[in-house]
Structure 1
C-alpha cells in the first residue's frame, strides 16, 4: 500500500511543479524586458537554423550564429560582436588580414554580405565598431561600419528608446498571455492525466482495503451423514 500512496504524493508534486514552472517563465520574461531597457547589459540576438549565411564578397563561408550588442549605457551601444560558425572546409586564416565591413546594419538578412577590405585600402568613411568572431578557431576580425550607423548606435534618440520600450512591453504582454494560455492548456492536460492516475490509485487502494478489512467468511458447516 505504501507504493500507492507514494504515487499519489508524486502526482501532486508534478502538478505543483508545472504551475511553478509557468509562474517562473512569466516572471523571467518580465525581468528580461527590464534588463534590456533599463540596464547596460549586452543584448544577444540568436540567429537560429543558420538562416543568415556568412558571406564575404558574395561568397558563402558559413552562417551567422548570433549578434551581441555591448552597451556602455542603456541608450548607447559601445561595440558589436558577430559570432560566425564557419563551414568545416573553410580555414579562418584566410580572413586574418581582412577588415570586414558592413554598410547597413538595419537590414541584415539572407542576402547580407561582408566586404573584405585590406588595412591600407579601407574606406575613410568606415570606422571600427566591433569584431567578427570566426568559430571554431575563435579568430577575431575587425568589423567596420559606416559613421552614420555608428552614430545611431552610440546615441539612441530618447523618442526612439521610448517607442522601443513601449513595443517591448507590448510584446512582453502578448508573449506572457500566449505563454500563460499554452501553459494553462498544458497544465489542464497534465492535471487531467494526474487526476486519472489518482482515481486509478484510489480505486486500487479501495479494493485492497476491502480485502484487508472485510471479515473472514465463516467456515461452511460440516454436515455429518450417518450411515445405517
Structure 2
C-alpha cells in the first residue's frame, strides 16, 4: 500500500517543487516583443486614450457629412477604428495609418520600412492582408523594390475608397454611431436645461 508523499526523500520533493515553480514562471512570462509590436501597442493605447475623450456634437455632425471629416479627426479615426474592429477589418485602418507614417519616415529607412509594411499588409497571406486587386498588389511589390515616399499611394488610395464606400456607410447606421449621436443629443439637452435653470435663477434673484 502506498504511504504517499511522506515516504519520498526530501530531495525529490524539493525537485518537484522547483519544477512546478519553473513551469509556473514560464506560463506567466510574457513573450518578448518586437519593436513593431511595441509601436503597435503604443498606437493602440493612444487611440484608446483619444476614444475616451467624448467628441463634440459639432464633430459628430461633421462625421455624418463625409468620410474625409472622420479621417481628418484623430478621435474620428479612433471611433471608426473601433467600428472596424467589430467587423474584423481593422487592418484597413492600420494599413492606411502605416502608409501615412511611412511618408514621414527618414529617407534612409524607406527600404526597410517599405518591406515591413509590404510583408505585414500587402503580400499574399500577409498577417494583416488588406483587400487589393492583383494589379495593385503587383505594382506595389515593384514599387517597394525601389522604395520612395509614394510607393504605397495606389494601394493606400484603394483601401481608403474601400473604407469610404463600404465600411463608412455601415458605420453611419451602426449601433455604435447611433449611441454616440444619442449621447450627444442628451448632453446638448442637459446643457440647454442647465442654462435655462441658471437664467431663471438670475431672473428670480434680480426680482
TM-score by length of 1: 0.28
Structure having the larger proportion of residues in strand: 1
Which structure has the higher relative contact order (CA within 8 Å, separation 6+)? 1
Give the number of the structure whose alpha-carbon radius of gyration is greater.
Answer: 1
TM-score by length of 2: 0.30
